[in-house]
Amino acid sequence: MADPKGFLTTPREEWPRRPVGERVRDWNEVYVPGALLPIVGPQADRCMDCGVPFCHQACPLGNLIPEWNDLVAREDWRAAAERLHATNNFPEFTGRLCPAPCEAGCVLAINQPAVTIKNVECAIADRAWEEGFAPPAPPERLSGRTVAVIGSGPAGLAAAQQLTRAGHTVAVYERDDRIGGLMRYGIPEFKMEKRHLERRVEQMRAEGTKFRTSTTVGRDVDAAELRTRYDAVVLATGATAWRELAVPGRELAGIHQAMEYLPLANRVCEGDLESSPLSAAGRHVVIVGGGDTGADCLGTAVREGAASVTQLDIYARPGPERDEDAEPWPTYPKVYRLSAAHEEAGALRTAPAADADARLFAASTLRFSGDGEGRVGALHLVEVDSGRRAVPGTERVLPADLVLLALGFSGPDREDGLVARLGVALSPRGTLARDAGFATNVPGVFAAGDAARGQSLIVWAIAEGRAVAAAVDRYLTGAAGRLPAPITPDDRPMTV
């Protein structure tokens, strides 16, 4: 703690976003470039070094937050980068994309705005790349053992990097043509520019990790044969089986799943397509689903030039403050949040200021009606109470000629035959079942990330990747504790 009174004298200040009118005209990240570094030192100095840092507990990676806050306040960026990378393989991803449960658990947040931990993390990560503090770390010697990692999302990448650095020969198989999982084709460029992903993949290549893209294990490569070729297999295939909306009219043209829509917009940014075949340009867009995936559709539709955009959330509008009884500090509370995409959609609305939120809360879709030519023309909804019962007299009709369904994911995709061919058992929830050591019922086959945990967050996926790597390393070498395991398969976010 460079300044013991920092939290008393310095107010919280976040990395500013670019003006809405400017940022919706491009796909670049929403933040003002270069505006974080000048403010981050005094912000890191707001950390009280409180003795029992609940931020550690709240971060699934166990990031050493007070340590690197102190190092940033003292401008020792090299040491800060070393301490950050000690627990997090990809801090530039979490520094941009994590919802920061650590900040909800910050001791300062009991009666003041929390330390801007996520911003500090991002600044350290970016500075590390600029200054060359994140060079490739190839192993000194090879173990002679081989591992296939299936899936290149954050869980697969973290597992692969840990195992490669431990000396094992690792190949990552990915069914898409590019590496990154949902960070590549789900999360839009304006939340994280893909150059951050490219840089890490290059670092991993230089360390010795092999990547096999456009290869679906179970279809292009026989899964059982793969198991015999490698000493161990890690399944990190994500939870991409999307939930459906079974209401009348679902079959009409113009109704798509979010993950049919978002990858096309990402492909435009990658330069693969000139424009998206599902572009929202000139359309009245309704997004069904109030979560992050829905917000990503919102920001994308705004940038594509939608005529109007509305997001439906089945839950009631949360309050501005945490409910101290139901969700006391240090848990992550459900409060009203305005993401960058909500801010953009709201600012561009012509509705009166009181209605400047593009979201409708407590809204349930009843049916879709067509435009007479087989295409969706309107969405019929009703307000619901907390028990999801329709409130009489609240039916409404919204014009809708593009509807995007963002209702979450039920578990791993099973169409590729991977799970069946390997004989991996499923949990009652439909996710990959595993024991306390991340091992499935098939000897030498391990499971990590959303595929096993269920739909979650990048920070959890990285933690899963690191923990499964520790388990695989132990399986291959017989030695425990060579690699860190930040979580167990049963760990969950803090609740009361």
Ligand X SMILES: Cc1cc2nc3c(=O)[nH]c(=O)nc-3n(C[C@H](O)[C@H](O)[C@H](O)COP(=O)(O)OP(=O)(O)OC[C@H]3O[C@@H](n4cnc5c(N)ncnc54)[C@H](O)[C@@H]3O)c2cc1C
List contacts with ligand SF4 (CB under 6 A): 59, 61, 63, 65, 94, 98, 100-102, 117-118, 121, 459
Residue 468, SS3 per DSSP = helix
Which one of ligand X, ligand SF4, none is in contact with 209 (Cβ closer than 5 to 8 A by kind)?
none
Strand ranges, E, within 97-231: 146-150, 169-173, 210-212
Assess 103 for contact with ligand X (CB under 6 A).
no
Name the DSSP class of 146.
E
Q: What is the largest CA-CA distance in the chain?
A: 71
Which amino acid would we find at residue 355? D
# chain residues binding ligand X, by CB under 6 A: 41
CA distance 254 to 100: 35
Candidate residues 101, 105, 254, 449; the one interacting with ligand X per rule CB under 6 A = 449
First to last CA, the chain: 31
Assess 162 for contact with ligand X (CB under 6 A).
no
Assess 411 for contact with ligand X (CB under 6 A).
no
User: What is the smallest separation between the CB atom of 408 and ligand X, expressed in angstroms?
Assistant: 9
Backbone angles phi, psi at 434, to 5 degrees: -150, 160
Binders of ligand X among residues 190 to 209 (CB under 6 A) are 191
User: What is the smallest separation between the CB atom of 293 and ligand X, expressed in angstroms?
Assistant: 4
Residue 382's DSSP bridge partners are: 364
Which one of ligand X, ligand SF4, none is in contact with 151 (Cβ closer than 5 to 8 A by kind)?
ligand X
User: What is the smallest separation between the CB atom of 188 and ligand X, expressed in angstroms?
Assistant: 8
Cis peptide before 330 (omega within 30 of 0): yes
Name the DSSP class of 43.
H
Assess 60 for contact with ligand X (CB under 6 A).
no
Assess 288 for contact with ligand X (CB under 6 A).
no
Which window, 112-120, 151-159, 358-366, 397-405, contacts ligand X (CB under 6 A)? 151-159
Name the DSSP class of 60.
T
User: What is the smallest separation between the CB atom of 466 and ligand SF4, expressed in angstroms?
Assistant: 12
- Closer CB to ligand X, residue 145 or residue 175? 175
User: What is the smallest separation between the CB atom of 189 and ligand X, expressed in angstroms?
Assistant: 12
Strand ranges, E, within 74-192: 146-150, 169-173
- Closer CB to ligand SF4, residue 59 or residue 109? 59
Q: In what order do the strands lie in the sheet with 402-405?
A: 255-257, 402-405, 284-288, 308-312, 359-360
Closest Cα to residue 297, out of 260, 270, 268? 260
Assess 270 for contact with ligand X (CB under 6 A).
no
Residues lying near ligand X in the complex (CB under 6 A): 97-98, 150-156, 173-176, 181-183, 186-187, 191, 216-218, 236-238, 240, 262, 292-293, 296, 413, 416, 418, 449-451, 456-459, 461
